[in-house]
Amino acid sequence: MNRKVVIIIIVVMSIALLGLMVIQTYWIKNAVTVKEAIFIQGVKEALTNVVYRLEKLEAARQFEEGAKQQEKWAQMMDSINRGLYQQDSSEIYATGLNRYIQKSMLAQEAIQNMMNRFRYIPVENRIDPQTLDSLLKNELNNLGINTAYEYGVFSPSRNIMPIQKTGKYPRELLDKGFHYSLFPSDMLANPDYLMVYFPNERKFLIRQLWQTLTISIVLILTIILSFSYTVFTIFRQKKLSVMKNDFINNMTHEFKTPISTISLACEALKDKDIQKANGISDTYINMIDEENNRLKSMAEKILQSAKLEKDNIALNKEEVDVHEIITESIKNIQLQVEKKAGHIITGLNAEKYLLQADKVHFTNIIFNILDNANKYSPITPQITINTENSYSGIIISIEDNGTGIGKANQKKVFEKLYRVPTGNIHNVKGFGLGLSYVKAIVGAHGGKIGLESELGKGTKFIITLPFG
């Protein structure tokens, strides 16, 4: 896929994703606003009911106090009447009238006091905090407002807040609380105010929308993950396409060389003079045989790769001698190493070196790593092979002094078709199948493979295999 097309697709998908997120956020914000309006309306209704019930409670107390005052006034009037009837007529005009007027004034004063008594009592003496708290709690719960609240009663005339629930939020009560006038029927008195503040108002509103918010977040995350996976897949397919083309180019190059050699050898053998020459024909025949084996080996690697892709690895396990297989593999590659004036050092120190493994696949593992060590050591290869025992198996390490592998490529070298960039694609021959095959076979044996490497200082492969 064209790079420009990929960029256009990513940009379009990003704009679409951003647009969906903006719309979703706007919708959630509107939902929170609606919930907030409902919350405010509910609080107002609850406070209105509380103020009304407080006034009813006070009216009941006033009625009770009035009844008592009325009883006293009736008793006073009875006393006046009895005094008047008990005195003779000559005393009524002298003393009785004065006493009647005096007691009438006292009665009038008593009635006036009864009417105005509650207007001049401090608000903290008119409201019981426990009753107020109980009323607030019941009214808020009835309207579905189940969150922590703080209340206070503020007296502007005295500039104090004599009643508070906890005393932790006086400033918030004044600045952010809901304010309602207490005892609105006291027309002549300075009003006191009931104030209520909700410390967790925002959390409560969000909690009311948790299902909606959860669904929205899940949908947004799903879209983001789908978008990310799509972009990842596009780049992965692009990368696989490049790797596939590199593989085809390398395979063509690798197969072309032995085919050309065989073709030239066959043409030479057709020459009658060469047929008559002793020894020359055998040389060409051996050359054809070597190149044929080389083609067979490369074809085998491709077939192995196809089997690995289908997870179709059949292991014929038997007891094998690890040291013997290492020795045989060294013999097979010794000439190639010596051509570059290199040498192989062994340190076969494992005391237990027999294990259950597939001999053919295990031999391929050792040979593939040795072959890579030789190929990626351009000048005088120094290859070291060591073995040692672990508590449950054997550890094989193969170290070289080659070009090394950068940290960015170390996790990728075991991927199929991946080859560490060398500048010239044909500088190091191969298909990029060797290490992916090695890792698959080691895993099939229940083992592990890792590497330690640094650019310019070589690479060390470490294989751990169990005995069983």
- 197-252: per-residue pLDDT in tens? 999 888 888 887 787 778 888 888 888 888 888 888 877 777 777 667 666 766 67
Q: Are 152 and 172 in contact (CB under 8 A)?
A: no
Handedness of CA 454, 455, 460, 461 (dihedral sign): positive
pLDDT value of residue 420:
61
| 311 backbone φψ class: left, alpha, beta (φ>0; ψ -120 to 50) | left
Q: Are 217 and 25 in contact (CB under 8 A)?
A: no
pLDDT value of residue 86:
55
Query: For 364-414, what is each residue's pLDDT tens digit?
Result: 889 888 888 888 887 788 999 999 998 889 999 999 988 888 887 777 777
* Angle (CA) 104 108 114, round 5°: 145
Q: Which CATH architecture has domain 203-308?
A: Orthogonal Bundle (1.10)
Q: Are 404 and 365 in contact (CB under 8 A)?
A: no
d(C-alpha 349, C-alpha 347), whole Å: 6
Residue 149 is given by DSSP the state -
Residues 6+ apart with CB under 8 A from 356: 317, 318, 319, 320, 467, 468
Those residues of the chain that have pLDDT short of 70 are 1-2, 65-120, 187-189, 242-243, 245-247, 249-251, 253-254, 257, 273-279, 294, 297-298, 301-313, 416-434, 468
Q: For the CA atoms of 126, 131, 136, 141, what is the dihedral angle to 10 degrees?
A: -160
Determine the residue type at 182. Answer: L
d(C-alpha 396, C-alpha 4), whole Å: 47
d(C-alpha 423, C-alpha 402), whole Å: 16
Determine the residue type at 376. Answer: Y
Alpha helices in 87-128 (DSSP H): 89-91, 97-116, 123-126
Cα–chain center distance at 448: 30
pLDDT value of residue 426:
44
pLDDT value of residue 288:
81
Q: Where in the chain is the domain with CATH 1.10.287.130?
A: 203-308
Closest CA to 337 of 308, 372, 312: 372
Q: Which two tokens stand for residue 323?
A: 């040291």
Q: Which two tokens stand for residue 444?
A: 């099939």
Q: Give the number of C-alpha atoms closer than 13 A to the C-alpha of residue 454, restricted to the C-beta side.
A: 1
pLDDT value of residue 66:
61
Q: Are 320 and 357 in contact (CB under 8 A)?
A: yes
Its pTM stands at 0.47
Q: Which two tokens stand for residue 99?
A: 């006493």
CATH superfamily of 318-466: Histidine kinase-like ATPase, C-terminal domain (3.30.565.10)
d(C-alpha 194, C-alpha 152), whole Å: 6
pLDDT value of residue 197:
93
How far from 103 is each of 69, 90, 99, 154, 403, CA to CA, in Å? Answer: 14, 20, 6, 40, 122
Strands (E), 310-406: 317-321, 343-348, 354-358, 382-389, 393-399
Q: Which two tokens stand for residue 237?
A: 């397919």
d(C-alpha 326, C-alpha 319), whole Å: 15
Determine the residue type at 385. Answer: I
pLDDT value of residue 228:
83
pLDDT value of residue 348:
92
The full DSSP string for 282-332 is HHHHHHHHHHHHHHHHHHHHHHHHHHHHTT-----EEEEEHHHHHHHHHHH
Q: Where in the chain is the domain with CATH 3.30.565.10?
A: 318-466
